[in-house]
Amino acid sequence: MSTDSHRSNTYEVDDYVLYRDGNRFWANQPDHTFPCRVVKVWSTGHGLRYDLRRLSDWFPISKADPAYMRLLPAADAMRDIDVAALEESTALTPAAIAWVRQHYPHGLPEQLPAQP
């Protein structure tokens, strides 16, 4: 038996994870994988289990097996903003433009602050 099927992942409340419903996946049914947020951690005799909320509709998932979960790192969600140029004429995504407008409501400063 492969040890990959018994990978030990641990998560914390408020982590974002990608969850795969193993029953739906192995039955070849659609809609088996979706992003979720960890809302509770359970300690059982067989290890940790997690209560999740599906992000699209806040649907509860009880006692999810961590073998079917993967962390969604914040760095991945923010990568487009981290590497985007600060001009609207470039290929900024709508989320990056919204962030810039929120933090600079009166437009970008004429001169950026000096770097340390």
- The structural domains of the chain, with segments of one domain joined by +, span 7-72, 74-107
Per-residue pLDDT of the chain (116 residues; tens, 9 = 90+): 333 444 558 999 999 999 999 999 999 999 999 999 999 999 988 899 999 999 999 999 999 999 999 999 888 888 777 776 655 555 556 766 777 777 777 776 666 566 55
- 30-56 burial, b for 16+ CB within 10 Å, e for fewer? eebebebbbeeeeeeeeebebbbeeee
Q: Does domain 7-72 have CATH number 2.30.30.140?
A: yes
Three-state SS letters, 47-60: EEEEEEEECCCCCE
- The answer to whether the pTM exceeds 0.75 is no
